[in-house]
Structure 1
Amino acid sequence: MANIQSLDPTASPLDYYGWELRRQREAHGLKQGQLGDIIFCTGSLIGQIETTKKVPTRDFSERVDAALGTDGLFSRLIGLVLRSQLPNWFQPYAEMEAKATYISTYQAQLVYGLLQTEEYAQAVLSVDRRAKVDGMVAARMERQRVLQRDQPPALWVILSEAALLLEIGGPGVMRRQLAHLLKFQEDPWVQIQVLPFSTGQHTGMMGTFTLLRFDDDPDLFYMDGYDQGHMTANPDVIKERSVGYARLQAAALSPEDSARLITRVMEERYAAPHSTDER
């Protein structure tokens, strides 16, 4: 990784963040350990972030701003830093997702990224990208901030029943992930439906896909693969997939029945163990 003496602040958002952190810290006459004491972390962590060996979090950035009086500088930078941790092919979608006013998605195997818990995301992303998993998890959590806006997008999620049964990270992780989904029952902007196996053939058999709608821009269709994403505003594709999604909504369980199924799976398949150790 980069040596702080040779760190190029123009190389990437992460490099600039590390360079600026060191510059601001030294301008305040603080050593790494001293700054760490102020913001309740180790000097080693400060050093790792300054040399791009560690990706900062939003919480870390806000504490640095408060400690150094940098007027929100690092809180503004962190969004760029975390977005840069997403795969290059996924970044265009993430940018459009953040601008959408209506998101409708069908998920064939996994919980949608905006609804994932941190530990669930960690388990999913660590399969292929262990070296970058911390930064990618932080980036996924950053994406979820769109749901916390004063005017969040309307989000409609259809999950295949497989997403409830595919055990990601172990029973405890799944139990907490399903419990997290249930918290959205009271959210007026989020609707979750489960498509049961008993549906048989359906219009989502092509795989996971998402439709994005905007106030002033054309609708977008998106689906991703292992190392690439496909996004189009082709009106014929939008029409076909919108009808397909409406048929999925009609075939899926109601939001109320979906919540009952999620609860049943959580309590029966991922019941809390009697001992303190989970398998």
Structure 2
Amino acid sequence: MPEWFQRYTGDEPHANEVRAWHSERIPAWLEAEPYTFAMFAPESADEIADHLRLREERRVLFSSSSPPRYHVVFSESSFWRSPGGPGVAVDQIRHLLGLAAEHDWLHVRVIPFEVSMRYSAPDFTLMSMGDTDYVYVEHLNGALYLDKPEDRHAYEEYWKDVVRLALTEAGSREFLERLVRELRDRMSR
């Protein structure tokens, strides 16, 4: 695990609440195995094994007796730009729907393409620890941990916009079920 990611993974299971925006991808702990394999296919077998191990380590949240309230909002592009194509996307969506149905602390919402947004910020996570809150922003060479009040405020405001624009949880579930049908239809052509 990269050193810059260790603080995040150490804090995640102990957080009170986690709120995450994902515009293009699925985070490791919510990935279905075919998604992980497709994403890291160009890498060596050892590197793929490392990614799978990290994914499983982060999935400890699913067996925790007191997981954080986890709210995640995805752009529709997170599903259309799935590595491995439509078949992997279908598996991923079904996996995500199953996780959300099994765990009442996991709240999944989607912003469809037809919803107008001012702009799409890079992926970020608002980590609420109670005494130490911060914004986590990953980039190509590492990550930023933003804990200044003005930084947190800017991301909190953007989060409010994202939540306002997203479908409800029930609406997101229906949307994702329709998307599965559409992707399967495309694969059968």
TM-score in same-fold range (> 0.5): yes
The answer to whether structure 1 residue 89 and structure 2 residue 21 are counterparts is: no
Query: What does residue 47 of structure 2 align with?
Result: 132
Does the C-alpha gap of structure 1 residues 87 and 126 become closer, same or farther in structure 2, counting only changes over 3 Å?
farther
Q: How does 1:90-129 map to 2 (within 5 A)?
A: 90-127=5-42
The separation in 2 between residues aligned to 1:126 and 1:225, in whole angstroms, is 21
The separation in 2 between residues aligned to 1:200 and 1:272, in whole angstroms, is 26
Tell me the SS of whatever aligns to 1:140: helix
Query: What does residue 170 of structure 2 align with?
Result: 256
The separation in 2 between residues aligned to 1:246 and 1:224, in whole angstroms, is 20
Query: What does residue 110 of structure 2 align with?
Result: 194
Deviation at 1:166, TM superposition (A): 1.1
Preserved CA contact (<8 Å) 1:118 1:141: no
Deviation at 1:271, TM superposition (A): 4.7
Residue of 62, 66, 69 corresponding to 1:151: 66
Residue of 97, 119, 133 corresponding to 1:219: 133
Does the C-alpha gap of structure 1 residues 95 and 127 become closer, same or farther in structure 2, counting only changes over 3 Å?
farther
**TM-score normalised to the size of structure 2?**
0.89
Deviation at 1:199, TM superposition (A): 2.1
Provide the aligned C-alpha RMSD in A.
2.2
Q: Which has the higher contact order (CA 8 A, sep 6+)?
A: 2
The separation in 1 between residues aligned to 2:92 and 2:122, in whole angstroms, is 22
Residue of 152, 158, 161 corresponding to 1:247: 161
Task: Give unmatched runs, 5+ long, in structure 2.
Answer: none
Post-superposition Cα deviations, 1:129-153, rounded to whole Å, max 9, x if no partner, equal 6641211211112101123201111
Deviation at 1:252, TM superposition (A): 0.8
Query: What does residue 233 of structure 1 align with?
Result: 147
The separation in 1 between residues aligned to 2:36 and 2:111, in whole angstroms, is 22
Tell me the SS of whatever aligns to 1:230: strand
Post-superposition Cα deviations, 1:6-44, rounded to whole Å, max 9, x if no partner, equal xxxxxxxxxxxxxxxxxxxxxxxxxxxxxxxxxxxxxxx
Question: Alignment identity in percent?
Answer: 24
Instruction: Give the number of the structure whose residues are more often strand, by fraction.
Output: 2
Deviation at 1:263, TM superposition (A): 0.6
Residue of 170, 173, 178 corresponding to 2:88: 173
The separation in 2 between residues aligned to 1:154 and 1:108, in whole angstroms, is 20
The separation in 1 between residues aligned to 2:15 and 2:150, in whole angstroms, is 20
Q: Which has the larger radius of gyration?
A: 1
Task: Give unmatched runs, 5+ long, in structure 1.
Answer: 1-85, 275-279
Preserved CA contact (<8 Å) 2:25 2:82: no
Preserved CA contact (<8 Å) 2:126 2:136: yes
Preserved CA contact (<8 Å) 1:175 1:271: no
